[in-house]
Amino acid sequence: MSANVAALTAQIEELQSNFLKSVETITAAINEIQQQQVQQVSIKEPAELAPFNEFLVVELTQFFGAKESKMIVEKLRRCRAIGDFRYFIPMYLMAKDDLKKRQLMKTVSAVYRYKFGGYRNPEKYSLRSEIKYAAACPECGEMATILVNRLKAEGLWK
């Protein structure tokens, strides 16, 4: 009887080992597929530049704080994913009492739409004009200038 138990135990251990190997293989395949999808979706940026969303969070943190900056960038990312930036409008309530922050939010939105919007020339010219005039503002143009410099580094702004 103990020989049968030992044989069954060995079979169970072998099945368990095979199962764990299968799970590892499936997990590796899923991770590889997810990585390929991320690479296909990502915009081509020079290797030395941080991803735009991360760059934006860092730059916005000094004005809005970490939590709000992440929320702003995530909302922009979602708007880009669904192709409609009108869903960003409620974010302006975060800056309703501070004109400088509101203008900054408008500029960040314009830069994001300029970079990722896929707009035709007339819309892109309008966004470019909005960004250019924001950068010229002596009070709130600091952030717009940083964003324009980033677009220049990516070869999107001449």
**Domain layout of the chain by residue ranges:** 1-41, 52-153
31-65 pLDDT tens trace = 777 666 544 444 444 445 679 999 999 999 999 99
Token pair 């677009």: residue: 151
Which residue has tokens 């049968």?
Answer: 4
CA 85/CA 56 separation, integer angstroms: 17
Token reading at 150: 């980033």
The secondary structure element, H or E, covering residue 71 is: helix 66-82
Q: Tokens standing for 40?
A: 């296909």
Enter the tokens of residue 26. 């499936």
Question: Which portions of the chain are predicted below pLDDT 50?
Answer: 38-47
d(CA 71, CA 92): 12
What is the pTM for the complete model shown?
Answer: 0.67
CB 87 within 8 A of CB 79: yes
